[in-house]
């Protein structure tokens, strides 16, 4: 048996695991992300977490060789040098952080790979999930924001420096509200947790609010219960998602779109609803060849995909 | 010197050329596309055209070996079996036409390659044009419709069966008018020749029309002259283009977007205008790494790119 360290650096938590080549988690630990302390605190916490897992393995499973460290991190990651090419300001100073260099300095005996958090989810899907039988697929993660990853001919599409896959920033309304990326009417403004919050505030502005809480969780539960006002809002959310999914299909002709993220974990009925919104918007020739599939459930996919880089990194 | 036959099957004309490995055209001929006769007539005309070029070469340049036949065709092409996976009804019966099989049966000694017309333009750019120095780029052709091609890590992105690259069908307004593809508010409805026609009819409906003709050529000339009404319409056209280009950049992180097609050939000022519309809509980190470049001019790129498949086809 061979194993690797997988690390998932998110805005809320740092997840660590020892994962074997079949994607099984042998050890794991979690720490809160010290975001307030900025990039330096996160890197210290991360290096300490790896250290402790390695020590644990040396003590309890000295016969299992650890072959490398794979890291998935929020933000646009330069997959070649393993640094943060760009990140929003949720983590002060995160942009520019040389994650790979700092990790390799601390653990010089181990190869280190770093990629964007959704790209490593796509690796988990490719080797252990719904992407197993597809050469060309796309992952979409519907959470507080919307992340994406594109796999073409079996390899993650990184683009010029690793920024590719920002599918939450497909504009679905060029006359819509301005997005933090600079564009107008990005998908994320209509169909992410934070976008739904904005949408609800907008739609119920000056009106008496419904009985349910004006956020994504409230909306989704009310919609599942058959609430009429929620259904109206969901027409907008699903219209934006259906249009963006059809755009993705027309642009990339994938065999599958694998959909995951916090929103889908909570409300699985969202996937068939997205499918019903996407089908009539897609050219029949392309629709015939594509499937919408649920992502691996549970929140271990991040560490499993991160570790998979050690054996399956793109050049 | 080695050469190949390049064929460009368009809705209006069939173009044929003998092209050498440096992309130089040694012989060429053109025939009107017998669209009214349907797929059978087009295939007969095409095979006759290839035959005549081969006879010409045998007689006048017997020392130049012809190494294969490369064909670029309108419609969604299955690049693996060289058939038409899907085409709109401009050419009756075009969907399903086994272009490669029919061509190979007639010329059994020569390898035959078939791809979408914009994908072969991208090959021309990659080997002889603005794509020479880029590993990751996108081509957009602005004409009667809007075509696209994606090159990632040096290879054309075909997707599941060869349908990828339909960038005219990125939705830029999910509440917009219905498109023939099924989606709403596709880029093509706002920024292609036919889309601009529709847009103008819509915007001047019930109003006294301006002095210029209500079509793309009329609009673009009036806009170049500084006409105020034309500038207002162009705000919409350029808004749609800028949003779609920013979406493409966010999704694919390309090093370059190469822009060509009839509209740009006629009005080169369109490219800097698209650039001004795209820049503020794009995340600065991605914008820093991308260039908007003009496509090879002239209408020989189709045959040159088609022929290039013989030496540079994707697996």
* Crossing angle for the helix pair B228-252 and B270-278, to the nearest 10 degrees: 60
A251 to B172: CB separation less than 8 angstroms, yes or no: no
* Crossing angle for the helix pair A99-106 and A38-60, to the nearest 10 degrees: 40
Alpha-carbon distance B272 to B292, whole Å? 8
Which stretch of DSSP H or E encloses residue A57? Answer: helix A38-60
Flag whether pLDDT at A86 surpasses 90: no
A86 to B285: CB separation less than 8 angstroms, yes or no: yes
Contact A228, A212 (CB under 8 A): no
Q: What percentage of chain A exceeds 90 in pLDDT?
A: 85
Question: Do the bridges between strand B83-86 and strand B112-116 make them parallel or antiparallel, or are there none, so unpaired?
Answer: unpaired
Listing DSSP states for A6-26 in one string gives EEEE-SSEEEEEEEETTS-EE
Put simply, whether the predicted model's pTM sits higher than 0.80 gets the answer yes
| Nearest residue on chain B to A133, alpha-carbon basis | B160
In tens, the pLDDT along A265-303 reads 899 999 999 999 999 999 999 999 999 999 987 778 999
Question: Do the bridges between strand B291-294 and strand B256-260 make them parallel or antiparallel, or are there none, so unpaired?
Answer: parallel
In tens, the pLDDT along B79-107 reads 889 999 888 766 778 999 999 999 999 99
Kindly report the nearest CA distance between residue A191 and chain B, in angstroms. Answer: 13
CA distances from A298 to A72, A271, A294, B201 (A): 16, 16, 12, 52
Give the residue from B179, B251, B279, B314 with the most A CB atoms within 10 Å of its CB, the best one to mutate.
B251
> Residue A31 has what DSSP assignment?
E
Sequence-separated (6 or more) residues with CB below 8 Å from residue B287: B249, B278, B279
Alpha-carbon distance A269 to A225, whole Å? 11
Burial zone of A284 (CB within 10 Å; 0-12 exposed, 13-18 middle, 19+ buried):
exposed
A174 to B289: CB separation less than 8 angstroms, yes or no: no
Minimal Cβ distance to A281: which of B172, B184, B281 = B184
Flag whether pLDDT at B176 surpasses 90: yes
- Name the average pLDDT for chain B: 94
- Name the average pLDDT for chain A: 94
Instruction: Of A181, A262, A54, give the one whose Cα is nearest residue B243.
Output: A181
Residues of chain B found within 8 Å of residue A164, distances taken between Cβ atoms: 251-253
Please, what are the domains in chain A? 3-124+299-312 (3.30.420.40), 132-294 (3.30.420.40)
- The confidence score (pLDDT) of residue A79 equals 85
Contact B240, B172 (CB under 8 A): yes
Alpha-carbon distance B47 to B43, whole Å? 6
Instruction: Of B172, B192, B143, give the one whose Cα is nearest residue B246.
Output: B172
Give the residue from A251, A289, A290 with the most B CB atoms within 10 Å of its CB, the best one to mutate.
A251
> What SS3 state is found at A144?
coil
- The confidence score (pLDDT) of residue B89 equals 66
B50 band by pLDDT with thresholds 50, 70 and 90: very high
Sequence-separated (6 or more) residues with CB below 8 Å from residue B257: B137, B138, B139, B140, B245, B248, B249, B290, B291, B292, B293
Alpha-carbon distance A144 to A131, whole Å? 24
Q: Percent helix, strand and coil across chain B, each rounded to 5?
A: 40, 25, 35
Kindly report the nearest CA distance between residue A43 and chain B, in angstroms. Answer: 23
Instruction: Of A258, A270, A129, give the one whose Cα is nearest residue A193.
Output: A270
A254 to B160: CB separation less than 8 angstroms, yes or no: yes
Flag whether pLDDT at B314 surpasses 80: no
In tens, the pLDDT along B243-267 reads 999 999 999 999 999 999 989 989 9
Residues A45-74: what's their mean pLDDT? Answer: 96
Could you identify the residue written with the tokens 């250290």?
A: A51
Question: Do the bridges between strand B256-260 and strand B137-142 make them parallel or antiparallel, or are there none, so unpaired?
Answer: parallel
A315 band by pLDDT with thresholds 50, 70 and 90: low
- The confidence score (pLDDT) of residue B315 equals 56
Residues of chain A found within 8 Å of residue B169, distances taken between Cβ atoms: 246-247, 250-251, 283
The token pair that represents A229 in the structure block? 């006002």
In tens, the pLDDT along B52-61 reads 999 999 999 9
A253 to B183: CB separation less than 8 angstroms, yes or no: no
Alpha-carbon distance B84 to B162, whole Å? 10
Report CA B277 to chain centroid distance, whole Å: 22
Alpha-carbon distance B295 to A20, whole Å? 48
| Nearest residue on chain A to B96, alpha-carbon basis | A285
Give me the sign of the Cα torsion angle B267, B273, B277, B282: positive
Sequence-separated (6 or more) residues with CB below 8 Å from residue A259: A139, A140, A141, A142, A271, A274, A292, A293, A294, A295
Give me the sign of the Cα torsion angle B33, B36, B41, B42: positive
| Nearest residue on chain A to B248, alpha-carbon basis | A170
Question: Do the bridges between strand A146-152 and strand B66-73 make them parallel or antiparallel, or are there none, so unpaired?
Answer: unpaired
Contact B90, B33 (CB under 8 A): no
- The confidence score (pLDDT) of residue B165 equals 96
- The confidence score (pLDDT) of residue B91 equals 75
Residues of chain A found within 8 Å of residue B283, distances taken between Cβ atoms: 86, 163, 166, 169, 181-182
Minimal Cβ distance to B181: which of A185, A255, A283 = A283
| Nearest residue on chain A to B286, alpha-carbon basis | A163
Contact A95, A40 (CB under 8 A): no
Contact B96, B102 (CB under 8 A): no
Alpha-carbon distance B73 to B102, whole Å? 14
Q: How far apart are the first and last CA of chain A?
A: 25
The token pair that represents A88 in the structure block? 């929003």
């Amino acid at each position: 048996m061979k194993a690797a360290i997988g690390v998932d650096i998110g805005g809320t938590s740092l997840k660590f695991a020892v994962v074997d080549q079949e994607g099984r988690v042998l050890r794991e630990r979690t720490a809160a992300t010290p975001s307030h302390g900025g990039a330096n605190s996160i890197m210290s916490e991360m290096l300490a977490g790896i250290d402790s897992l390695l020590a644990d393995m040396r003590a309890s499973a000295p016969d299992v060789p650890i072959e490398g460290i794979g890291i998935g991190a929020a933000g646009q990651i330069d997959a070649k040098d393993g640094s943060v090419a760009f990140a929003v300001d949720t983590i002060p100073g995160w942009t520019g952080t040389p994650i790979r260099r700092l990790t390799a300095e601390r653990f010089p005996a181990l190869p280190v790979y770093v990629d964007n958090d959704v790209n490593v989810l796509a690796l988990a899907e490719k080797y252990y999930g719904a992407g197993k039988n597809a050469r060309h697929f796309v992952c979409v993660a519907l959470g507080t924001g919307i992340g994406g990853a594109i796999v073409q001919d079996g390899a993650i599409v990184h683009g010029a420096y690793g920024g590719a896959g920002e599918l939450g920033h497909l504009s679905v309304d060029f006359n819509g509200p301005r997005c933090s990326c600079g564009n107008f009417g990005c998908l994320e403004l209509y169909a992410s947790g934070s976008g739904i919050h904005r949408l609800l505030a907008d739609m119920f502005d000056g009106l008496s609010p419904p009985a349910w809480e004006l956020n994504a969780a409230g909306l989704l539960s009310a919609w599942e219960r058959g609430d009429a006002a929620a259904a109206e809002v969901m027409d907008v959310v699903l219209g934006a998602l259906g249009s963006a999914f059809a755009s993705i299909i027309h642009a990339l002709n994938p065999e599958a779109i694998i959909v995951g993220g916090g929103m889908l974990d909570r409300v699985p009925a969202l996937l068939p609803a997205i499918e019903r919104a996407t089908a009539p918007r897609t050219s029949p020739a392309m629709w015939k060849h594509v499937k919408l599939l649920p992502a691996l459930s549970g929140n271990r996919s991040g560490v499993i995909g991160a570790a998979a880089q050690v054996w399956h990194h793109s050049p």
